[in-house]
Amino acid sequence: MNKLLVLIMISLSTYLHAQVATIPFEENELVFIKVKVNDVKESLHFVFDTGASTAVLDSNIAKKLGIQSNYSQSTRGANGSEVYEIATNQTLSIENIKFQNINLVLVDLKELSQRSGTRLDGIIGYDVLRKFITQFNFKTKTISLHQTNQGIEDLNTYSQLPLQFKGGPIPQVDVSFVLNDGSKEKGSFLFDSGANLTIAFNTPFAKHKKLKSRTGKTITAKARGLTKTSSFTKGSAQKLSVKNFNFFDLPIDISETKTGVSGSSAYDGILGAKIINRFDMVLDYQNKIWYFKPNATFKDSFDFPMSGLSIKLVGQRVMVSHVIENSEAFEKGIREGDELLSVNNYDGKELNVWRNHLRKDQQKVSLKIKKKATEKEKEIVILLKRLL
């Protein structure tokens, strides 16, 4: 056997040893992968979430599968502490890899599924990230799991930031930003790809820096955690910078809760999916490094509130889950709990289509609604415009 062939075989062997799985994913604002639980053949629909310190399974799915809680534990979430039921010693399978002795937090995920408009059976993150070097490619829609860096092509073309683990399994990264008054700030933010936002500022940091008075126009909005809905202030910023990569004119969230993750002073807030997913990246928890480079969505403009409406899919009905009070939709009588029958004659049930209709600045949209209070149908035309 000649030397060249030997070198090729060694190189191939090293690559195969380094890469242990390629996982296809779907992107619907968040990243979804297929996961099997225990010996059940049917795959479930899980969010892959860097902010998930433990795996989560929908409690209704758990009941169907005969999975029962072994004990209860108080856990801190974004909006405060909750008591969760936990099933121990479970097995999760992703492609050809089995993760054994996994603890599953059992939570009713119905409300989150309704708001995303897609099936959400569970959440997984740290159980995978702690064992493998994890590579995300948003062009091929794949996650590759590696044992070492050796099989990762062109890793030297990625920028790097240290991942800071400060007493917990969710890393933090440094971010700087310019507020609408032109002033500059910086801080350390949880790296949370399961948070469907750009950046959220924790209450202690926001109060100390007086962010609400420095962001210009603001509105009050609602966010849903695993089990609770909370109010927060939504504003905007001139610029956000991750190392030498800059994002301009973006919405920001300012927390007002005093408990849980968002009330903590241990970090300054959360960096979410609407920034993180604009990069192809490699997460190396072993060496505490985030490798990243812009993908095709990097320069896309950010979505700002236009209609004042938040919507969810309840069964086969599109429902209003929240209405911003200083919006034209509110002024014309649309309220939480009303059913949306059509938008510009579209009466399908794909929330992404609905949201795209409601994101076009300075365009009029025609909404056919059924009022919760009277069950009467009504046609309303509103002008979409930036509320921030």
Structural domains of the chain in order of their starting residue, each with its CATH number: 21-146 (2.40.70.10), 158-294 (2.40.70.10), 309-383 (2.30.42.10)
Provide the CB-side half-sphere exposure for 337 (13 A, CA). 5
The rounded mean pLDDT for the chain is 91
Whole-number Å distance between alpha carbons of 52 and 47: 9
Give the pLDDT confidence score for residue 5 in this predicted structure. 37
Give residue-wise pLDDT tens across range 62-118: 999 999 999 888 765 555 567 889 999 999 999 999 999 999 999 999 999 999 999
Out of 6-10, 160-164, 220-224, 298-302, least confident range: 6-10
Please report, for residues 67, 80, 83, 225, 240, the alpha-carbon distance to residue 105 in angstroms, rounded to integers and kept in the order given. Answer: 11, 16, 10, 14, 34
Residues 315-321: contacts with CB under 8 Å, at least 24 apart: 316/349, 318/349, 318/351, 318/354, 319/114, 320/369, 321/114, 321/115, 321/222
Mean pLDDT score, 323-345: 96
Mean pLDDT score, 205-219: 94
- For CA atoms 303, 309, 310, 316, the dihedral sign is negative
Mean pLDDT score, 286-303: 97
Give the pLDDT confidence score for residue 20 in this predicted structure. 87
Give residue-wise pLDDT tens across range 139-174: 999 999 999 988 798 999 999 999 999 989 999 999
User: Is 155:283 a contact under the CB 8 Å cutoff?
Assistant: no
Mean pLDDT score, 360-373: 95
Give residue-wise pLDDT tens across range 167-211: 899 999 999 999 999 999 999 999 999 999 999 999 999 999 999
Whole-number Å distance between alpha carbons of 106 and 99: 17
Give the pLDDT confidence score for residue 226 in this predicted structure. 62
pLDDT at 278 over 80: yes
Give the pLDDT confidence score for residue 172 in this predicted structure. 98
**pTM as predicted:** 0.91
Give residue-wise pLDDT tens across range 16-74: 446 789 999 999 999 999 999 999 999 999 999 999 999 999 999 999 999 999 988 87
